[in-house]
């Protein structure tokens, strides 16, 4: 069956889902630890425990959703609503649970349960969604535009997440209180429902005849669970995917370390309020949006890995600028805004490039296995990301707690807290960025090598047994990490 034509409305509908994907995570990573410790009376250790518990639950739930969606087309519900889009539809009435996370004056267990519940709903919607770009088109450029549309919408959501608190404070009066975040959560909940409906209505999945050969795993529950973790582990045997994960984690975990401590840096080191945080964060978010637009063009011309290294350098320079200004005793916000703009130019590219590259991972896997496992790759990406994010945030919050962070509003924090924040920004963020930079020097999937890959896949599908060109063999073996003779399921299946 010929591929369906992708129109502007499809790009917009697909991209809009990152108002949920990135929007929810932007609010949570930027504000949740600060909200818990400032307005809810929780210690940094308790806030970190909630964050880690929710992310670990999501980390293990996400691969399960991805695996189930890979084979859900065999069920009656999957045949009627789609193996991916059924889960998106199911999540729609549950997405407003996001607002429940931002209610002041509740217990530790209330915040734990509401956060964990939303993480499960989030995974149920986002994991099937992440497979759709690869399902809707096999074209390299089309997939890049899908990724661009998604990240552009995500950056707009990020701007809103950072800017709206200042608007809400202006509406409510004062310097900011817990109601600021409740209104923020309620507004975004409305957006979440709207975009999930748009995704369901204006996206599609791979034709059923292309996936009918993917038989449902036989056996009982235990054997299916064994097969699940076998499939998930197998994705890590694809060389390009392992390198991709390294770049993904280098770009995202470095931001996970920076996001919670940046709020404390502004609040304590610069004597800022919620409004001050928004004033400083907004230019960075706008710079991220501009960066994504530029990186869509850049990644298609000089390819993803070199673009990634430029992004790492910019983000690193921005963080170094913040720390240098603080060390020099500068308190003029203008200079800090300049530094975060530089950091934002790097962050936007780091957010776009991994999700652009991800869309091609199932193609690399297909030449090895002869199967399409988009769900497995989406699940593993989320699993590894959430697991490492949990570890990173747990370490950050424990360090803050050990440094003597005092919960509550308008509290004078000891110097040890500021020292810990500076240490985390410097050693943590910059160290993880350096790791991602190193990994990117070994990553070679780009427009040209992807074209070679797709040509070889077509040769396998047509049962062409002619000896491949020397360059084609080299490219495919570098991307897959497998000898050519083992491809298309002829070797030990990963």
Q: What separation in angstroms does the CA of 286 have from each of 154, 303, 346?
A: 11, 24, 12
- Please tell me the predicted confidence (pLDDT) of residue 491: 59
- Please tell me the predicted confidence (pLDDT) of residue 1: 43
Residues 295 and 207 in one domain: yes
- Please tell me the predicted confidence (pLDDT) of residue 2: 52
Within-domain flag for 384: yes
Which pLDDT tens digit goes with each residue over 341-371? Answer: 999 999 999 988 988 888 888 899 889 888 8
Q: What is the CA radius of gyration of the chain?
A: 23
Calculate mean pLDDT across residues 316-328. 93
Contact, 321 vs 342, CB < 8 A? yes
Q: DSSP class of residue 343?
A: H
Residues 246 and 131 in one domain: yes
Residues 302 and 200 in one domain: yes
Within-domain flag for 405: yes
Residues 476 and 409 in one domain: no
Residues 335 and 428 in one domain: yes
Residue 115: pLDDT band by 50, 70, 90 thresholds?
A: very high
For the chain, give the percent of residues with pLDDT over 70: 90
Within-domain flag for 366: yes
Residues 417 and 468 in one domain: no
Which pLDDT tens digit goes with each residue over 407-422? Answer: 766 667 788 888 898 9
Contact, 241 vs 364, CB < 8 A? yes
Tell me: pLDDT of 188 over 80. yes
Tell me: pLDDT of 307 over 90. yes
- Please tell me the predicted confidence (pLDDT) of residue 113: 95
Within-domain flag for 3: no
How many angstroms separate the CA atoms of 436 and 442, rounded?
11
User: In this structure, what CATH number is given to the domain that contains residue 261?
Assistant: 1.20.1250.20
How many angstroms separate the CA atoms of 445 and 453, rounded?
10
How many angstroms separate the CA atoms of 252 and 54, rounded?
18
Which pLDDT tens digit goes with each residue over 275-306? Answer: 677 778 788 888 988 998 888 888 778 889 99
Residues 74 and 221 in one domain: yes
Within-domain flag for 493: no
Residues 375 and 469 in one domain: no
Which pLDDT tens digit goes with each residue over 49-73? Answer: 998 898 888 877 877 887 787 777 7
- Please tell me the predicted confidence (pLDDT) of residue 443: 95
- Please tell me the predicted confidence (pLDDT) of residue 155: 83
Calculate mean pLDDT across residues 247-276. 82
Q: Report H helices in 82-139.
A: 85-91, 108-130, 132-136
Neighbours of 482 (CB within 10 A): 21
Residues 44 and 161 in one domain: yes
- Please tell me the predicted confidence (pLDDT) of residue 222: 56
Within-domain flag for 488: no
Calculate mean pLDDT across residues 260-264. 80
> Which range has the top average pLDDT, 124-138, 283-297, 380-394, 468-482?
468-482
Calculate mean pLDDT across residues 427-439. 95
Count of structural domains within the chain: 2
Residues 472 and 393 in one domain: no
Residues 167 and 72 in one domain: yes
Within-domain flag for 474: yes
- Please tell me the predicted confidence (pLDDT) of residue 308: 95
Within-domain flag for 140: yes
How many angstroms separate the CA atoms of 475 and 444, rounded?
9
How many angstroms separate the CA atoms of 368 and 489, rounded?
6
CA 298 to chain centre: 21
Average pLDDT of the residues of the chain: 84
How many angstroms separate the CA atoms of 382 and 354, rounded?
12
Contact, 140 vs 360, CB < 8 A? yes
**DSSP conformation letters of 304-317:** HHHHHHHHHHHHHH
* Residue 381 domain boundaries: 8-445
Which pLDDT tens digit goes with each residue over 194-247? Answer: 999 999 999 988 776 666 655 555 555 456 566 666 767 778 889 999 999 999
- Please tell me the predicted confidence (pLDDT) of residue 194: 93
Show Cβ contacts of residue 398 under 8 Å, excluding neighbours closer than 6 positions.
44, 45, 48
Residues 407 and 465 in one domain: no
- Please tell me the predicted confidence (pLDDT) of residue 435: 96
Residue 411 exposure: Cα atoms within 13 Å on the Cβ side: 16
Tell me: pLDDT of 175 over 70. no
Contact, 343 vs 283, CB < 8 A? no
């Amino acid at each position: 069956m010929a591929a369906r034509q992708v129109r502007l409305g499809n790009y917009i509908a697909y991209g809009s889902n990152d108002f949920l994907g990135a929007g929810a995570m932007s609010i949570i990573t930027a504000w949740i630890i600060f909200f818990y410790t400032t307005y809810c009376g929780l210690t940094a250790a308790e806030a970190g425990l909630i964050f880690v518990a929710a992310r670990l639950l999501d980390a293990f739930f996400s691969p399960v959703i991805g695996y189930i969606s890979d084979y859900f087309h065999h069920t009656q519900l999957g045949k009627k609503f789609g193996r991916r889009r059924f889960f998106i539809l199911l999540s729609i009435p549950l997405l407003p649970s996001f607002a429940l996370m931002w209610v002041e004056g509740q217990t530790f267990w209330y915040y734990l349960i509401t956060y964990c519940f939303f993480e499960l709903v989030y995974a149920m919607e986002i994991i099937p969604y992440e497979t759709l770009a690869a399902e809707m088109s096999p074209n390299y450029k089309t997939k890049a535009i899908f990724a661009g549309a998604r990240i552009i919408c995500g950056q707009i959501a990020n701007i809103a997440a950072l800017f709206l608190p200042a608007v809400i404070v202006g509406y409510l009066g004062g310097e900011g209180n817990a109601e600021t975040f409740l209104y923020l959560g309620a507004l975004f909940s409305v957006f979440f429902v709207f975009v999930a409906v748009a995704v369901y209505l204006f996206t599609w999945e791979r034709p059923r005849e292309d996936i009918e050969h993917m038989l449902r795993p036989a056996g009982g529950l235990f054997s299916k669970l064994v097969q699940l973790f076998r499939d998930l582990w197998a994705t890590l045997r694809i060389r390009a995917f392992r390198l991709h994960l390294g770049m993904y984690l280098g770009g995202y975990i470095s931001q996970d370390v920076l996001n919670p401590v940046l709020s404390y840096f502004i609040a304590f080191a610069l004597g800022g309020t919620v409004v001050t945080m928004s004033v400083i964060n907004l230019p960075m978010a706008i710079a991220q949006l501009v960066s994504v637009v530029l990186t869509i063009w850049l990644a298609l011309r000089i390819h993803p890995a070199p673009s990634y290294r430029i992004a790492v350098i910019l983000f690193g320079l921005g963080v170094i600028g913040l720390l240098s200004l603080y060390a020099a005793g500068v308190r003029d916000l203008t200079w800090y805004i300049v530094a975060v703009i530089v950091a934002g130019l790097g962050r936007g590219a780091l957010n776009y490039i991994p999700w652009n590259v991800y869309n091609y991972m199932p193609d690399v896997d297909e030449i090895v296995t002869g199967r399409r496992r988009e769900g497995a790759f989406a699940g593993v990406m989320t699993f590894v990301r959430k697991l490492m994010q949990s570890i990173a945030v747990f370490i950050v919050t424990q360090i803050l707690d050990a440094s003597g962070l005092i919960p509550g509003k308008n509290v004078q924090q000891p110097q040890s807290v500021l020292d810990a924040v500076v240490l985390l920004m410097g050693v943590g963020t910059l160290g993880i960025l350096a790791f991602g930079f190193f990994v990117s020097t070994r990553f070679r999937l780009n427009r040209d090598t992807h074209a070679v890959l797709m040509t070889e896949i077509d040769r396998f599908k047509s049962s062409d047994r002619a000896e491949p060109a020397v360059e084609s063999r080299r490219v495919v073996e570098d991307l897959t990490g497998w000898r050519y003779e083992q491809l298309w399921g002829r070797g030990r299946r990963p």
